[in-house]
Amino acid sequence: MQRSKWWSIGGSLFAGLFVAYLDRTNLSVAMPQLSRDLGFAGEHFAVTASWTLTIFLVGYALANILGGIVTRRMDPKTVVIWCFAIWSAATLVVGFTGSVAVLLICRLILGVAEGIYWPQQSRFVRGWFADNELTKANAIIQFYGQYFALAIGFMVLTPIYDFFGWHTLFFVTGGIGLAVIVPLFLAMLRPESEAPYRQPEPIGQQPRLRLQDLGGPAFVLLVFSYITQGMLFWGITLWIPLAVRTLGFTGLSQGLASAVPYAAAILLAIPMAKLSDRTGRRVLIASVGMLVAGLLLLLLPVVESGLGKLALITVALGYYAASFTPNIWSILQSSVEPRAVGPAAGIMNGLGAGGGGTIAGFLVGIMNSYTGSYMSGFMVLGVLVILGSFSLLIYGHVVGRERALRGPERALPRAGVP
């Protein structure tokens, strides 16, 4: 199983997250024609579009937090299969609808199911991979699955939308989940009872989770940094197909321009992962990635050309993602109690991606309606992610000091702090 786990566990979950992100972003691609067909393309576009794009994140936030806790005694294989089947069916229903209300309900179901799904990935990683394999496993499952979908997805989904319309777009993305991913998970994923690094549950009543199990008060600093990166990621990702249109990119060039920042993240991830593995300074590398991204976004007003603005967004998002995303989950998984990995991942991703992403989605949409530019919202995201960078640096200092006080024999293994 030592070799095959990278294919059966890592490869399957990579494919699953790839399709999950197609299901998340298909609405951003479909928005121009869908908004006209469903009757909100006029003066109500900013508010209604913000709701349709972010209601996924509302359900996602709540389900990450509660789902990671409620499902911690369930087999993650069972959970991910049912979640994928439910949200894929909801995605198919969107293709048939002509109602904003049905669209909102289906996107909420998508958010809830994907929110329960997300913490299970960390449970698989913690159970099947050793401490010195965590960064590589997280990169394969959560980084590459996510960013390959965004890099390739926008280039694939945009032509499908242009040639066949938004109904077909939802039929295709929902159908892949039911016809491909659910059978793949049934065949390839293994039950948690077979995981070599699984921590056995205590006999009798399971003890209640404490803040100390999550890493103590420093966990709050980690969560705040993740909230700001969630705002950066989702504030750009939800609106980038429309934002690049305002920069002069249309048709095929729109799909390419939307995908470029995520392709940059994939390319930059290789040298950043090597640097992280060689130095072990996960917190510092992730913090610098956030800081650089924020500073680049603040330069958007200085550059006048659409191509120049796209270049700034590309480098900002690509460098931050390659530096932050693989490291942050390794930091979490190695700094909380093993039995708290699922709940901790759910809390952090729920508040960060769900809560932060919802706020950012509205922020960018509303600011565009008042200023006529998506760039103003992107600049605000830059300021926020700089604050998150400092929060993560403080987290690293606090955890490093606590580890020094405990002594090497009591330190948390591979905490990944300077």
Burial label for 249, CB within 10 Å (0-12, 13-18, 19+), is: buried
Query: Quick one: how far is CA 111 from the chain centroid?
Result: 12
pLDDT of residue 412: 42
CB of 5 closer than 8 Å to CB of 128: yes
How large is the average pLDDT for residues 58-72?
A: 79
CB of 350 closer than 8 Å to CB of 61: yes
Pair of tokens at residue 99: 């109602």
Instruction: Tell me the CA distances in angstroms from 75 to 7, 127, 190, one per residue in order.
Output: 20, 11, 10
Residue-wise pLDDT tens digits, 220-269: 999 999 999 999 998 998 889 889 999 999 877 888 898 899 999 988 88
Band of the pLDDT at 200, cuts 50, 70, 90? low
CB of 275 closer than 8 Å to CB of 319: no
Can you tell me the distance from the alpha carbon of 199 to that of 202, in angstroms, rounded to the nearest whole number?
9
pLDDT of residue 410: 43
DSSP 55-118: HHHHHHHHHHHHHHHHTTTS-HHHHHHHHHHHHHHHHHHHHH---HHHHHHHHHHHHHHHHHHH
Can you tell me the distance from the alpha carbon of 292 to that of 287, in angstroms, rounded to the nearest whole number?
9
Q: Region of 412 please: left (phi>0), alpha (psi -120 to 50) or beta.
A: beta
Q: Which of 2, 46, 146, 5 is nearest to 372 (CA)?
A: 46
**What are the backbone dihedrals phi and psi of residue 232, each rounded to the nearest 5 degrees, phi first?**
-60, -50
Burial pattern 363-379, b for ≥16 Cβ within 10 A else e, equals: bbbebbeeeebbbbbbb
How large is the average pLDDT for residues 68-89?
A: 89
Instruction: Tell me the CA distances in angstroms from 81 to 12, 39, 88, 187, 341, one per residue in order.
Output: 12, 35, 11, 11, 20
Residue-wise pLDDT tens digits, 316-362: 999 999 899 878 877 887 777 777 777 787 788 888 888 888 899 88
DSSP 359-404: HHHHHHHHHHHHHS-HHHHHHHHHHHHHHHHHHHHHHHHHHHHHHH
Question: Helix axis angle, 282-297 relative to 306-333, nearest 10°?
Answer: 160
Can you tell me the distance from the alpha carbon of 171 to that of 176, in angstroms, rounded to the nearest whole number?
9
More reliable by pLDDT, 270 or 203: 270
Burial label for 411, CB within 10 Å (0-12, 13-18, 19+), is: middle
**Which range among 43-52, 165-174, 220-229, 298-307 shows the weakest confidence by mean pLDDT?**
43-52
* pLDDT exceeds cutoff 90 at 289: yes
* pLDDT exceeds cutoff 70 at 27: yes
Can you tell me the distance from the alpha carbon of 6 to that of 128, in angstroms, rounded to the nearest whole number?
9
Domains of the chain: 5-192+215-410 (1.20.1250.20)
